[in-house]
Chains A and B, each alone.
Chain A
């Protein structure tokens, strides 16, 4: 029971990480119609900038600011420099161009930072574990990750549904020409939206720093999972991204945790381990396939995107 609770927490934590990435990806796709494969690169930029600054200054806080700044500004530069030319182009062109961006950013990162993984420590106050239950010690840092992720989800919901920028974002998604006719600089809105998405990816990167290896290629690793989340949740929808991320996080974690044990009830141990290993690798894709069978648009597609 304790194990199940702990694994659920782990699933939630993976889920909020995926949400931070998927939210930006789906925002950009839903509103600007851009398939941005380079989203993982922004995650890497955030992680690297924060790692470099945190190493130099010894302060996680300064690292956080640097990571957010680098990812946000990097994102806006990419929007102004590259993506702006691609809005009217077919999706295949966008895929090609943003794939090129991945290679470019990886190459630049190798030149600037090198291939050696960077060291970034969690702040002293957040390292170590806390006893949640007798017998359940949970890393403080992971609890903070869950908290930050949920907070961001709420903030994002408020921005999109309660603010003037959010209104423009929603209107721009469905009635681009009307918004423009009303005298709104839709291009500026796009740049801001893209910057916001980049900021979220950068935040995910900064948070991931003390957990994983900060190195070239870390963005591509997490990108596929992020796309699965967006597809399951329904493209263009923040609520969908949240639901999808939580589902993927939980399914992935719980199959990894419990599939071997369950399979051992019916199979010899070594076969069960091998089969469970395979099953947990494809579990999220199975989930995606099932969702697409039942709801081809995803679980909570954005309104106005379905025609």
Chain B
């Protein structure tokens, strides 16, 4: 019978042996991707979609992205910046991760990404892209795949002009992305702002705000409330009888297919702007939507589409350096080419490494089966970049 001490020293040796090949034959081991995302609390479904779509891409490549074996280390940040910071520190120091992705919320990104960049790591964002990383403080190792936060809302402003609205009530939660949202909408909307309201990021009851909207008598309402917040807002909006009288124009993140499934008919008639929709033509997109539906038994959201493309973009760059992230310049150059089959259609990076792409107006209509569905209507902007690119010097 072995003593406890022997057992412990034995397992320590075994662990040491297991670690050994890692340091010697770096090429044979998969590239580690630190995937920090929000998997708990309201909004947890967004992180779940982002994780699942990324995994789908890895699975379709049989454990490889761009032919390079990868290991995706998924961790939940719980929508807590401090928790995310601890996780990223551990991944950087203990796991030697150099490549990160996955973050949903801008406030988490702001807390975590500077640490990654300071350590010489790369961050490829499948979602959040706050203004603070797009302009003067842009960084050569930071890439955004989905959008720059403001463009979501700038294009909603363009759509509102197109629809002829003159007085808007605008609402967003009181945090960085919410402020970016209202700034972005104001930048392009030509009419008058009848009311500007900040909500709380943990708010679920919007009765007070709805009364303020009614009192302001606007032509339209623009609101940015992602995830569970958006579900509560749209439902209460319909219950208050506002849906029939004041039309709503929103960015796509306030009306993804999950929100739509949860609010049902309350969403009929809402207009949104987007860079991707499930009904987009193109073989690559159809294949993605079908594969996601088959594997996870739910309709892919816009968040899932972005994350799938993030995986493809990373794959294209990994292929160029054969998985060797120490060739940082070559990896960056390959990322910038954006040499991957984007399911949204045309895609390229602007000078600040944020997307330049087309934007579309979509509308909630009754589908063939009687359930509400997001239908693409018209293009609202072509080759649209963001308003911070000019101030970025790389």
Contacts and interface: CB of A to CB of B under 8 A. Distances in A.
Interface of A: 3, 6-7, 10-11, 13-14, 17, 106, 110, 115-119, 121-122, 127-129, 137-139, 141-142, 208, 210-213, 215-218, 220-222, 253-254, 256-257, 260, 269-270, 273-274, 276-278, 280-281
Contacts of A128: 239, 241
B279 interface: no
B123 to A, nearest CB: 24
Contacts of B263: 119
A13 B44 CA distance: 28
Interface in B201-241: 202, 204-205, 207-209, 211-212, 215, 227-229, 231-232, 235-236, 239-241
B40 interface: yes
A115 B211 contact: no
B196 interface: yes
Interface string B18-62: 000000000000000000000111101100100000000000000
A10 B207 contact: yes
Interface in B170-202: 174, 196-198, 200, 202
B258 interface: yes
Contacts of B227: 213
B135 interface: no
A213 B42 contact: yes
Nearest to A261: B212
Nearest to A256: B208
B42 A221 contact: yes
A57 B173 CA distance: 35
B298 to A, nearest CB: 7
Given A139-B241, A260-B197, A119 B42 contact: no
Secondary structure at the A interface, as helix, strand, loop or mixed, is: helix
Nearest to B263: A119
B264 interface: yes
B325 interface: no
A274 B174 CA distance: 8
A213 B225 CA distance: 12
B330 interface: no
B270 interface: no
A116 B262 CA distance: 9
7 contacts: A128-B239, A129-B239, A210-B235, A216-B41, A216-B44, A217-B42, A222-B204
B381 interface: no
Contact of A115 (B45, B197, B261): B45
Contacts of A269: 196
Contact of A257 (B212, B229, B239): B212
A212 B236 CA distance: 8
A31 B223 CA distance: 45
A217 B196 contact: no
B271 to A, nearest CB: 22
B207 A212 contact: no
A99 B308 CA distance: 35
Contact of B42 (A122, A137, A215): A215
Contacts of B229: 213
Contacts of A208: 204
A116 B258 contact: yes
A129 B240 contact: yes
A37 to B, nearest CB: 15
A222 B204 CA distance: 9
Nearest to A131: B241
A10 to B, nearest CB: 4
A278 B215 CA distance: 22
B379 to A, nearest CB: 31
A277 B42 CA distance: 21
Contact of B228 (A3, A218, A270): A218
A28 to B, nearest CB: 23
A127 B239 contact: yes
A117 B231 contact: yes
A280 B200 contact: yes
A110 B44 CA distance: 10
Contacts of B212: 3, 257
A211 B40 contact: no
Contacts of A221: 41-42, 202, 204
A11 B42 CA distance: 23
A128 B200 CA distance: 26
Contacts of B228: 117, 212-213, 215, 217-218
> What are the 9 tightest A-B residue pairs by CB atom distance, in nearest-first order?
A217-B41, A277-B198, A213-B228, A10-B207, A213-B231, A129-B241, A277-B174, A212-B204, A139-B239
